[in-house]
Chain A
Amino acid sequence: DAGVTQSPTHLIKTRGQQVTLRCSPKSGHDTVSWYQQALGQGPQFIFQYYEEEERQRGNFPDRFSGHQFPNYSSELNVNALLLGDSALYLCASSPLGRSRDTDTQYFGPGTRLTVL
C-alpha cells in the first residue's frame, strides 16, 4: 500500500520565479492538505483540497494556490517566490468517508524548496 508521495524531493529557485510541487495521496484517501515547515518550526497549514475544490485555507497569501485532480492528486503553486518561502513543503492526505478516521492526516516525505 503506497503512502503519500511527493515530487520533486528538492528544488532550488531564485526570487521572483514560480514553482509547482506535486502530491499523490495514500490509496483510499480523497482529501489533500498542504503545509509549510520552516526550519526548526512545526508545520503551518496552507490549504486543503477536497472534490477538486479548496475547502479551507490557512493564513497564506494569494501567491500560494493549488489544484486537485479527479484522481485526488494535487499540486501546490507558489508565484513570485520570496527568500522567506524557503521551507519543507509537506502534503498530507486523509481517508474517504465521514468517520472520525477522516480527521487523521498522513504526511508525505516533503519537498525541500530553497529560494536564492
Chain B
Amino acid sequence: GQQLNQSPQSMFIQEGEDVSMNCTSSSIFNTWLWYKQEPGEGPVLLIALYKAGELTSNGRLTAQFGITRKDSFLNISASIPSDVGIYFCAGLPYPYSGGGADGLTFGKGTHLIIQP
C-alpha cells in the first residue's frame, strides 16, 4: 500500500523561529491534509489541500500541495509555545472513489519541541 515519508521526525527549535516539515510519497495522492495532535487527544485538522500546486494559509501556517502530487509541505512562521505537538500529514491516494470514500494514509509525524 501507499506510504508517506514525513520528515523530520522531530524538531527542537527556539521560540520565534520558523518551522518547515514535509511529506513525500512514491505514488500520487489526490488530497493532502495536515493535522496536529497533542497528547491524549485526537488529530485536529489544520489545513486541507485539494489541487496540485495549491498554496493555503491558516494564520501562521502555510501548506502546499506539490505539483507532482507526490509531496506536500507545512511551514509555521514565528513559532510560539502552543505550537508544540505532533504534526501529521495525511493523504487520499489516487485513484479513489471520491466523496470521502477512502481511508487516509498517514505519515509517522513530526514531533515539534519549542525551547523558550
Query: A110's contact among B1, B31, B41, B90, by CB below 8 Å, is which?
Result: B41
Q: Are A107 and B42 in contact (CB under 8 A)?
A: yes
Q: Does A62 contact B (CB under 8 A)?
A: no
- Which of A14-22, A70-78, A79-87, A89-97 faces chain B? A89-97
Q: A24-66 vs B: 1/0 string, CB under 8 Å?
A: 0000000101010000011111111010000110110000000
Query: B47: shortest Cβ distance to chain A, in Å?
Result: 10
Interface size on A (CB < 8 Å)?
A: 35
Contact A45 B33, CB 8 Å, known A102-B100, A104-B45: no
Q: Which residues of B contact A (CB under 8 A)?
A: 1, 4, 6, 30-31, 33, 35, 40-45, 48, 50, 88, 90, 92, 97-109
